[in-house]
Amino acid sequence: MKQKFAVQLYTLRNECEQDFPGVLRKLKEMGWAGVELAGLHSYSAEEIAEVLQETGLQTAGMHVSFQRVTTELESVLTEARILHTSTLICPSVPHELRNEDGYQQFRSQLNEIAKDIQPDGFTLSFHNHAFEFETSVNGMNALRYILEPSAENAVLAEVDVYWVQKAGQDPASFIRSYSYRMPTMHLKDMSDDESRTYAEIGTGVIDFDPILLWGEGNGVAWYVVEQDVCPGNPMDCVKLSLTNLHRIADRLGVNT
């Protein structure tokens, strides 16, 4: 399991803006196995791929905006090939589509793209927040609708367990519908106070044991830590999350 721990680089967006290659080298020294990309911060894909190869960090996937994936698909696929990943993730729904008709359009367009790129070995997932639970589409909340585990739906899941909990759902129960339909999963903890804000893994209220055990038996390739806002130095935050994840893996006996 320790070889499946990656960090979503949005967490370290300011640090990457200042010294992207340096951040990647430090993450490898910490013990991370991979990174999930969220932009290249003015570097070329070739330059970042060279640093990834140098460090041995793997690419756990790429977050690509709905606008880019619908208007620059060939460029996105070229970038993904250079960075050695076949996992594309749409990170959010545009504001103007956050209604019943919009969600139907959104899922339809993602499906067209997902089916178009399948022959070349690529997958397209969707990463959730909490707001998708607020709209009903075809008798289910919008997130269930987008990720519906049916043969005709090619959109895979990247469930963010924090946002599921934020929406009042149990993450360990929610993810069960997506067996072998979730190549990557987002992990972030929730603070144990009234704010219920972002927290380092193992310092908050989310029970990761059943989540990780389920993932090991149901096709999760990468557990990706994302902390949207860090109370202190973001590099220290991700280091603490990794330390605690390693402890959880050791305790569960799935540390390979």
Q: pLDDT tens, 213-241?
A: 999 999 999 999 999 999 999 999 999 99
What's the rounded Cα separation, in Å, for the pair 256 and 250? Answer: 9
What's the rounded Cα separation, in Å, for the pair 93 and 210? Answer: 28
pTM of the model: 0.97
What's the rounded Cα separation, in Å, for the pair 104 and 97? Answer: 9
SS3 5: strand
Checking DSSP bridges between strand 184-187 and strand 136-137, what pairing results, if any?
unpaired
What's the rounded Cα separation, in Å, for the pair 66 and 77? Answer: 14
Name the burial class of residue 38, with classes exposed (0-12), middle (13-18) and buried (19+) by CB atoms within 10 angstroms of its CB. buried
Residues 6 or more apart whose Cβ sits within 8 Å of residue 100: 135, 136, 137
Low-confidence ranges of the chain (pLDDT < 70): 255-256
Are 90 and 127 in contact, with CB atoms under 8 Å apart?
yes
- Domain 2-252 sits in which CATH superfamily? Divalent-metal-dependent TIM barrel enzymes (3.20.20.150)
State the pLDDT at residue 104: 98
State the pLDDT at residue 256: 53
State the pLDDT at residue 254: 79
State the pLDDT at residue 26: 98
- Compute φ and ψ for 184, nearest 5 degrees: -135, 145
* Number of CB atoms found within 10 A of residue 216's CB: 15
SS3 81: helix
